[in-house]
Amino acid sequence: MTHDAPPPERPRWGDLAAGVTVAAIALPQALAYAELAGMPPVAGLWATVPALFAAAAFLSARELQVGPVATTSLLAFGTLSAVATPGSPEWVGAAALLALLVGVVRTAIGLLGWGRIAYLLSRPVRIGFLNAAAVLIAASQLPAALGVDADGGVLRAAAVALASPDRWSVGALAFAGGTLLTAVLARRLHPLVPGVLAAVVVSTVLSTTLGYGGAVVGPIPDAWPRPRLDLPWGQAPRLAVGAVVLALVGFAEAASIGRDLAARARRRWDPDRAFVAQGAANLAAGLFGGFPVGASFSRSAVARLAGARTRWASVATAVALLAALPFTPWLAPLPQATLAGVILAAVASLVRPGDVLGVLRDSRSQGVIALATFVLTLALAPHIEEAVLIGVLLAVGQHLRREQQLRIDATARDGVLTVTPRGVLWYGSAARIEELVPDLLADHREAHRLVVDLSACGRVDWTAATSIREALEDAEAAGLAVALRGVPHHARSWLRSVWRDVPEEGGPPPEARPRRR
Q: What is the 3-state secondary structure (H, E, C) of 68-103?
A: CCHHHHHHHHHHHCCCCCCCCHHHHHHHHHHHHHHH
Model pLDDT, residue 372: 93
pLDDT above 90 covers a percentage of the chain that reads: 44
CA nearest to 390, candidates 419, 415, 365, 370: 370
Could you read off the pLDDT of 474-498 as tens digits, one per residue? 888 889 999 888 888 878 887 888 8
Could you read off the pLDDT of 433-465 as tens digits, one per residue? 888 888 888 988 899 999 999 888 877 888 888
Could you read off the pLDDT of 500-513 as tens digits, one per residue? 777 765 445 555 44
Q: What is the mean pLDDT of the chain?
A: 87
CB of 162 closer than 8 Å to CB of 142: yes
Could you read off the pLDDT of 80-123 as tens digits, one per residue? 998 999 989 999 999 999 999 999 999 999 899 887 776 677 88
Model pLDDT, residue 507: 46
Cα 488 to chain centroid distance, Å, stands at 35
Could you please report the per-residue DSSP string of 474-505? HHHHTT-EEEEE---GGGHHHHHHH-S--PPT
Model pLDDT, residue 29: 94
- 300-329 burial, b for 16+ CB within 10 Å, e for fewer? bbbbbebbbbbbbbbbbbbbbbeebbeebe
The dihedral region occupied by 430, where left means phi > 0, alpha psi between -120 and 50, and beta the remainder, is alpha
Q: What is the pTM of this model?
A: 0.80
CA nearest to 465, candidates 506, 504, 421: 421
CB atoms within 10 A of CB 93: 19
Check residues 114 and 165 and name the one with the higher pLDDT: 165
Could you read off the pLDDT of 340-364 as tens digits, one per residue? 999 999 888 788 888 888 888 888 8
Model pLDDT, residue 152: 78
CB atoms within 10 A of CB 91: 22
CB of 222 closer than 8 Å to CB of 329: yes
Q: Which domains does the chain have, with CATH numbers?
A: 13-220+242-350 (no CATH), 353-403 (no CATH), 407-498 (3.30.750.24)
